[in-house]
Structure 1
């Protein structure tokens, strides 16, 4: 083996290697979640100076046909639209812009739709012609062929949204052949819209809460039936500030700490401790207690990561009240310390950040590590207080929604070393609604009544969370004793009779509706 080593690789020229058209398939396979994809498009609206953004689901009877994002921003002319529709199109991003990579519109859209049409109009006169372009996956992968939208249709689409919100200028992004739209009727569309719009509203309300808190910016989600023209759902997205607790969980917080990194300089950490046992949406909008603790990174007032400790430490239940707001410095675009994901749903940090956290202090010299300890102690103190006033219980296990298990564990002390109580659906005699299986420590629910209880919704392992929670609260003490006394047996018979009557009434309601 030779000991010679060249630290610089010698070059003998260069060669132009453009991407294959199949690159568009890779671009649309980046794992964009539906809510993150819509948020990326709303970012473009904000960058365009929009005051109003409308997210419009269009349906024809029981079939969803299109999704449009409409804004009253400054719009784009033909040349600007060509740049916007070019993969990695070069344009100047302002220092406060939310866009970075030039791929969001295309990758976010084609991750979820077979085609994306963009029609835009700049401020001139009402008669000024709009510009329109369309990408379809079929034509994109055969040679990057972007369609030019017929000018008459482009004007027709602008006119459709004139004054709602477009007046003189604006942009419309239209998705067709949306991949996760229901393909069958039978009420699937209504259930899909209810579930999707609720999740979308929470996501936008959280990640764009600083913009939504302003008086001059609004996001509206609406549903219209194109066959009748009836718009039967229309509501504004509300801001969900992850730091909007009614009262602090610790009297000495919030506090600001400064972490200094040699390659980037000082970064301010705004450390907060939530009050224990909070049930408000601002606290619960992010995943589980493990997911929602840690750093909340903002770039230009847009939340780009909600929770996570970025290799500083491992998440744990005792830190569920700890949240730290970090406004990334302007130099982040060229920094190696913080690297944003293309989808703007996370921040990768270098070891330099974790090292700086160990020596971060506030104005009084208090270390950031003390904040972590204080958040831990706040949670433990609340748990001890609960433990002295409420009896320990066997925890819930399989069949219960994660959020339900967490709520019970937050509210009640747990018996150590006990096998959790499971719940499952099973065929049993229709004269009973439930059975208690002590040996397997399981609450068995009668499968005969499942469809009626779910109201036609698709079942799953953790379905019917309200019913299962109530059954746990009724029955958990049965598993904590070796046998049931006469009073408990009488209660079991009482609950059985009432629940069977209620379940049969629910079945009759479903039959009458059909």
Structure 2
């Protein structure tokens, strides 16, 4: 009776309300990260049956000009291309396709570029192309038709046998996060950082595909003037379950969660060995991020870590990882985000986890205890029973936060300690804001700490880590005793003297 009442609303006809052209701006503002956007394009290549995908950065001397994603998939006819370039364009997805919503190509591309051009060719059709230019897109969904001769030229550029070659080229122009000025090695530094992160992201979320013999992803950089391709390497699979030896002798083990609206869902529970330094373990976020569920949809990793309201993250569960292949008929229990970076689960899933068992009748909750025990035993053997601390927050480099959280148990539910530079009138090296949990470093000494280098939000990691180790206990106590106050004054005096000495050395060098 209640469900029926919800829909008993009198109506009087319908009215067609097409989206405003500014919807394109909203589409491009969904918070796509750069790596996630590229991964979405590669998903389309996999759906097209590609064996090889190339991610190609083009530069003109010190300036990056374009980014292209090229695949040797089956390509598209002109009609299929129009559907692909239509916002929300409906096409018949294969039962095992990675695409879902019909927005990934446009949303991912226009989140990072002012123009996206798609050129494609099948074995039996000519090369065709379309271009979304943001300024035209927001003015009535005007999509440009690419000149056929240019479309064929772009196809030929990436094919050894242009007569029979098939596939698709996606080109981004006006990429928003490319360095505006490439001088002083800025472009090289950007490429190093970006390609490293991109390789890790693609290696992780597509590791099952990359592990096959018939699929490859290559990242390359080419100078458009000289034609010199001075960087070209393949992406390696990064299996989050690729440990060389087990962390617990009884695992991995498969539990079964029975969900009434979905059926039986296998949970492949793993325990990593303690103190692992492998990228397969450490590349997945922080200690608290990397534990929990790893959801796959059609072999594509769509969530790396997280307990999905089953429990809170815990320092002692950092070795626990559970692989879950999402069922095709997920009902409303598993809802994939548009960016394929997470899965929203209903309370029905959490309830089923409490009742999940393996073939011997052992409960999934026992696995949680086993993973916890492995971590604690590793700490005991190392002789490190460390007290939990308030964790580091903004101002600390992510790799520094990760190292701290690896070594120190972190208090849960506590606002982290941040660090920032700020002008201090008292000449001290640092100040402490207990209420907002901030370590304030004196801006006057910043150049001394950085050695004259340009600063940033996460600069001076060595000094900041030392300040955290000296001061974190101050934030964990309600007040400072006389001995602690004396220590604070001691540290102030020595740090101020050191910073002033460094400033004097810098002045002498000038």
User: 1:185 corresponds to which residue?
Assistant: 182
User: 2:61 corresponds to which residue?
Assistant: 61
User: 2:165 corresponds to which residue?
Assistant: 168
Q: Deviations over 1:228-284 (max 9, x none)?
A: 211111111111111111212111111100001111100000011111221211111
Task: Select 1:359's aligned residue among 349, 355, 361.
Answer: 355
User: 1:144 corresponds to which residue?
Assistant: 141
User: 2:35 corresponds to which residue?
Assistant: 35
CA contact (8 A) 2:287 2:405 kept: no
Structure 1 residue runs of 5 or longer lacking an equivalent are 429-433
Task: Select 1:266's aligned residue among 264, 267, 274.
Answer: 264
Q: Deviations over 1:178-220 (max 9, x none)?
A: 1111112323222221111111111111100111111111111
**Deviation at 1:470?**
8.3
Distance in 2, Cα, partners of 1:375 & 1:285: 20
User: 2:397 corresponds to which residue?
Assistant: 401
User: 2:128 corresponds to which residue?
Assistant: 131
User: 2:446 corresponds to which residue?
Assistant: 447
Give the alignment of 1:70-219 within 5 angstroms. 70-124=70-124, 129-163=126-160, 168-187=165-184, 188-219=186-217
Task: Select 1:350's aligned residue among 346, 349, 368.
Answer: 346
User: 2:475 corresponds to which residue?
Assistant: none
Distance in 2, Cα, partners of 1:442 & 1:211: 47
Report the TM-score, using the length of structure 2 for normalisation. Answer: 0.82
Distance in 2, Cα, partners of 1:90 & 1:252: 47
**Deviation at 1:46?**
0.4
Name which of structure 1's ranges 66-75 and 240-249 shifts more when overlaid on structure 2.
240-249
**Deviation at 1:385?**
2.6
Distance in 2, Cα, partners of 1:93 & 1:192: 36
CA contact (8 A) 1:249 1:276 kept: yes
Distance in 2, Cα, partners of 1:39 & 1:166: 29
**Deviation at 1:221?**
0.9
CA contact (8 A) 1:297 1:305 kept: yes
User: 2:19 corresponds to which residue?
Assistant: 19
Distance in 1, Cα, partners of 2:127 & 2:56: 20
**Deviation at 1:98?**
0.3
User: 2:477 corresponds to which residue?
Assistant: none
Distance in 2, Cα, partners of 1:106 & 1:385: 53
User: 2:377 corresponds to which residue?
Assistant: 381
User: 1:230 corresponds to which residue?
Assistant: 228
User: 1:431 corresponds to which residue?
Assistant: none
Distance 1:66 1:317, change over 3 A: same
CA contact (8 A) 1:383 1:413 kept: no
Name which of structure 1's ranges 25-34 and 406-415 shifts more when overlaid on structure 2.
406-415
**Deviation at 1:7?**
4.9
**Deviation at 1:381?**
2.0
**Deviation at 1:467?**
7.1
**Deviation at 1:459?**
2.6
Report the TM-score, using the length of structure 1 for normalisation. Answer: 0.82
**Deviation at 1:164?**
9.8
User: 2:290 corresponds to which residue?
Assistant: 292
Structure 2 residue runs of 5 or longer lacking an equivalent are 473-482
**Deviation at 1:465?**
3.4
